Amino acid sequence: MNTANNSLGIFSQTMAKAFGPLIELYFKAFNYNKYLAGSGFAALITLGLFFLMVALISLGDNSVPTDNSRKLGDVIMPDRDIDTLFDNVEKPEEPDQQPEDIAQPELDLAPLAGVDVSLPKPKANFAGGGSFFRDGEYIPLFKVTPIYPRRAQERGIMGYAVVAFTITETGTVENAVPLEGMCGDPTNPETVYRQCSIFNSAASRAALKLKYKPKIVDGKAVRVEEVPHKFTFILEES
């Protein structure tokens, strides 16, 4: 008990010697100006707390255990030569026979059985000219079979239709107009025809599909208008 009291007395004397001058300075400043003394005392306490925090942080960093585990380094694969199984590859032998070219589809332009399609005969012109293209009349190149009207087929009606159209500079047909339509039996020379229009539409549609070599005048293709064409419609005998 005496030892503790002695230790406490020594500590008190030490603190009095260390802070005695500061306490006397504080009282003198307080007597002189209490606001200035309060500000200085607050600054002193703040500075002391700051150093205390720095000391605690330093002591805390030393207590943190260090990581002594081993880290794997970067793995670098060495370059290796790849061995191929086949060094020399033989090229395939060329076939002895070349494959035949694929045949182009052929268009069957023959008229349907029972339908007679007559074409105008071209007029030959043998007059010579100095141009590269020889002058001449139009020439039919593509023959079209008209579709037999269903109503006429069901009723057993036969006949013909005459259509007029224009042949353009490129050989196509436009402006097809029916001129005449007759119903009767074209296979019977003694038949008596009567006017009808049942074949006009089918004949006009077929005329627009005709193709011609255009008429050449002075080496240039020209239009030919009001070209007549006759389509004959005949039913097969059952």
The answer to whether residues 18 and 126 belong to one domain is no
The answer to whether residues 39 and 147 belong to one domain is no
Each residue of 43-59: b (16+ CB within 10 Å) or e? eeeeeeeeeeeeeeeee
Number of folded domains in the chain?
2
Which residues form the domain of 159? 115-233
Q: Tokens 């002189």: give the residue.
A: 32
The pLDDT of residue 62: 61
| Model pLDDT for residues 150-175, shown as the tens digit of each residue | 999 999 999 999 999 999 999 999 99
The answer to whether residues 54 and 142 belong to one domain is no
The answer to whether residues 122 and 40 belong to one domain is no
Tell me the two tokens of residue 220.
Answer: 């240039």
The answer to whether residues 121 and 224 belong to one domain is yes
Question: Looking at the domain assignment, is residue 224 inside a domain?
Answer: yes
| Model pLDDT for residues 71-95, shown as the tens digit of each residue | 666 667 666 666 666 566 666 666 6
| Confidence (pTM) | 0.44
The answer to whether residues 52 and 121 belong to one domain is no
The pLDDT of residue 105: 42
Those residues of the chain that have pLDDT short of 50 are 102-115, 117, 119, 121-132
Last residue of a domain, one of 58, 75, 91: 58
Question: Looking at the domain assignment, is residue 134 inside a domain?
Answer: yes
Last residue of a domain, one of 16, 41, 58: 58
- Identify whether the C-beta of residue 193 lies closer than 8 Å to the C-beta of residue 175: no
The pLDDT of residue 204: 94
- Identify whether the C-beta of residue 102 lies closer than 8 Å to the C-beta of residue 114: no
Each residue of 180-204: b (16+ CB within 10 Å) or e? bbbbebeeeeeeeeeeeebbbebbb
The pLDDT of residue 80: 67
Last residue of a domain, one of 43, 58, 73: 58
The answer to whether residues 44 and 148 belong to one domain is no
